[in-house]
Amino acid sequence: MKARAPLLGQVSKAHGKTVWFTATDAFADWAREAAPNVHGLWTAPGVFSADAPDPGSAALLAALPEKLGAQVADLGAGWGGLGAGLLTRDGIRTLHMVEADHAAFECARRNVTDPRVQFHWADATTWTPPELLDAVVMNPPFHQGRRADPSLGQAFITAARKMLKPSGQLWLVANRHLPYETTLAAQFRNSDEIAGDSRFKILHGSRPNR
Ligand SMILES: C[S@@+](CC[C@H](N)C(=O)[O-])C[C@H]1O[C@@H](n2cnc3c(N)ncnc32)[C@H](O)[C@@H]1O
């Protein structure tokens, strides 16, 4: 990198090194652009589950009821795998796909062309829907850094509760070990595990607390 541009500083930590430099096109030929994977779905380096649909999201789709309501959101929509599955169901009039990572967001826009979708490049923990929702469906993020960190997923659950109508419902998939039940029980009057196996659990919340 030094051979291509003057580096202004560096930090070494955890077997990695971060450097910074004044914005330049000197590394443009290093970029690996988004491209279709072997399944023909657009993904990009570093986006979640770039090589194939996530098995957790597939388990969530398999466990959902046929009807979810008209106004639905997918928080942390990634490249769109879960959202595309939701759109095969009856009754959805609007699906809000909310994603913070711009590379994943751009892939979702290529993969999901259904006119019922509204795309939001936004932080799901602060995004507010234009009207209260019938359902939130999500496979929330569980890494902030190298370790699993449940606080972001817990923030997603709290954010989802605020987006829902009084009759609205939350459906989410999580790795079995992630501690989401206490947050779910604090945010929803009814909460339970509706499906799962040794790897994943599918959690459901209804009657959101006001
Ligand atoms: C476990 S992945 C699920 C992706 C997709 N829904 C799927 O099932 O394949 C979680 C996604 O949440 C996104 N994410 C992380 N933090 C976020 C935030 N604060 N707001 C919105 N999306 C976020 C990540 O970029 C990632 O795409």
CATH number at 203 reads 3.40.50.150
Structure confidence by residue, pLDDT tens digits, 126-142: 999 999 999 999 999 98
The answer, yes or no, to whether residue 164 has pLDDT greater than 70, is yes
Residue type, 113: T
Report CA(17)–ligand 1 centroid distance (Å). Answer: 25
Is residue 39 domain-resident?
A: no
Residue nearest to atom 18 of ligand 1 (CA): 123
Tell me the Ramachandran region of residue 29: left when phi exceeds 0, alpha when psi lies from -120 to 50, beta otherwise.
Answer: alpha
- pLDDT for 146 equals 61
Assigned domain for 175 exists: yes
The phi, psi pair for 92, rounded to 5°, reads -75, 120
Q: How far is the CA of 77 from the centre of ligand 1 (A)?
A: 5
* pLDDT at position 148: 72
- At 74, list the tokens: 């997918």
Interstrand relation of 94-99 and 71-75 (parallel, antiparallel or unpaired): parallel
> Is residue 6, in this structure, part of any structural domain at all?
no
Residues with CB under 6 A from ligand 1: 48-49, 54, 57, 76-78, 81-82, 98-101, 104, 123-125, 139, 141
Backbone angles phi, psi at 186, to 5 degrees: -75, -25
Cα atoms in the Cβ-side hemisphere of radius 13 Å centred on 77: 35
Q: What is the pLDDT of residue 149?
A: 81
For 42-84, the pLDDT digits (tens) are 999 999 999 999 999 999 999 999 999 999 999 999 999 999 9
**Residue at 35 is within a domain:** no
Average pLDDT of the residues in 22-43: 92
Ligand 1, atom nearest to 83 Cα: 6
Q: In this predicted model, what pLDDT tens digit does every residue of 87-128 receive, in sequence order?
A: 999 899 999 999 999 999 999 999 999 999 999 999 999 999
**What residues make up the domain containing 174?**
55-208
Q: Cβ(178)–Cβ(142) under 8 Å?
A: yes
In a domain, 10, yes or no: no
Judge whether 4 lies within some domain: no
Q: Is the pLDDT of residue 200 over 70?
A: yes
Determine contact, residues 47/77, Cβ cutoff 8 Å: no
The pLDDT of residue 67 is 94
CA of 140 to the centre of ligand 1 (A): 6
Token couple for 190: 């009814």
- The number of the ligand 1 atom at minimal distance from the alpha carbon of 125 is 19
Q: Closest ligand 1 atom, CA of 101?
A: 25
Would residue 38 count as lying in a domain?
no
CB 132 within 8 A of CB 168: yes
Q: Is there a domain that residue 123 lies in?
A: yes
Percent of the chain residues past pLDDT 90, beyond the cut: 90
- Nearest residue (by CA) to ligand 1, atom 14, is 76
Counted domains in the chain: 1
CA distance 182 to 202: 15
